């Protein structure tokens, strides 16, 4: 029997309705959640991401500020702008769209954002809070994965989760969030020997390698939940994930498609984090 499809688009829509209602309530208390996005240079993919973030803000009734800089902006100028936004009461979330030009230190930029406004969840303080199970802004894509599973009614406790990929943005934090929910977690990566022997044991398999159709049916245990975080283009230029969807969906119990799987959840959780930041401001008054 083919796998049940986890509809990320539908779940994201449901979550966005909840967020929009909360934004409305906050506005009645005199606070409009505000997100500032900084875009450096003219990377086409980055520009697309940024415009969809702005569109989401507008749809949910949030305040959205876009700050654009040319490729040759100095590190000093960028850091100075971030400092200004850290102190701007209208802004509850600050996001610098990555990648940024090589002459600017990415780590320095991430660390200059106030942890209280770090809605991407990349600041070492938020990562540390996440690792120790404290309240934190969680990285949007891994957080979106957890919400997808929760909304689908998939229990995580005691399950064996195998994460293929170890990036700081998806792979590592995904494993940690599963661990926080009492799963047993195995990380695999490019240096892992005999990958199939590990992935075959997964009750929940998370593919985050950035290689088109990398995970095949042979990697997947019968009935497993397969979460495809990849966004790639195949030889024909068609959007596809890290999972060979057609063959894996014949083996898996549940699967996320690409597109309309994990993707819609990423921006939704960014909106959620921005709302959360604004609510903290209200509660501290």
* Per-residue H/E/C for the chain: CCCEECCHHHHHHHHHHHHHHHHHHHHHCCCCCEEEEEEECCCHHHHHHHHHHHHHHHHCCCEEEEEEECCCCCHHHHHHHHHHHHCCCCCCEEEECCCCCCCCCHHHHHHHCCCCCCCCCCCHHHHHHHHCCCCCCCCHHHHHHHHHHHHHCCCCCCCEEEEECCCCCCHHHHHHHHHHCCCEEEEECCCCCCHHHHHCCCCEEEECCCCCCCECHHHCCCCCEEEECCCEECCCCCEECCECHHHHCCCCCEECCCCCCCHHHHHHHHHHHHHHHHHHHHHCC
Catalytic residues: 53, 97, 120
Q: Is the peptide bond before 259 cis (omega within 30 degrees of 0)?
A: yes
């Amino acid at each position: 029997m083919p796998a049940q499809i986890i509809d990320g688009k539908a779940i994201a829509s449901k979550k966005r309705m909840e967020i929009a209602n909360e934004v409305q309530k906050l506005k009645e208390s005199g606070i409009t959640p505000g997100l500032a996005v900084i875009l450096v240079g003219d990377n086409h993919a980055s520009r697309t991401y940024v415009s969809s973030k702005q569109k989401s803000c507008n749809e949910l009734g949030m305040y959205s500020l876009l700050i654009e800089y040319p490729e040759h902006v100095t590190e000093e100028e960028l850091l100075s702008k971030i400092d200004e936004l850290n102190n701007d009461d209208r802004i509850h979330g600050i996001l610098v769209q990555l990648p940024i030009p090589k002459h600017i230190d990415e780590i320095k930029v991430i660390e200059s954002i106030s942890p209280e406004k770090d809605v991407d969840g990349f600041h070492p303080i938020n990562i540390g809070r996440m690792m120790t199970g404290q309240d934190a802004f969680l990285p949007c894509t891994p957080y979106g994965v957890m919400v997808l599973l929760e909304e689908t009614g998939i229990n995580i406790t005691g399950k064996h989760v195998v994460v293929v990929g170890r990036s700081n943005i998806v792979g590592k934090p995904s494993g940690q969030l599963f661990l926080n929910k009492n799963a047993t977690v195995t990380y695999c990566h490019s240096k892992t020997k005999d990958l199939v022997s590990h992935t075959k044991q997964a009750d929940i398999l998370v593919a985050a390698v950035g290689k088109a159709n990398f995970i095949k049916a042979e990697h997947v245990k019968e009935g497993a939940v397969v979460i495809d975080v990849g966004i790639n283009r195949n030889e024909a230029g068609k959007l596809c994930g890290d999972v060979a969807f057609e063959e894996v969906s014949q083996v898996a119990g549940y699967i996320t498609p690409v597109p309309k799987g994990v993707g819609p959840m990423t921006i939704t959780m960014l909106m959620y984090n921005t709302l959360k930041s604004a609510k903290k401001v209200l509660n501290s008054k």
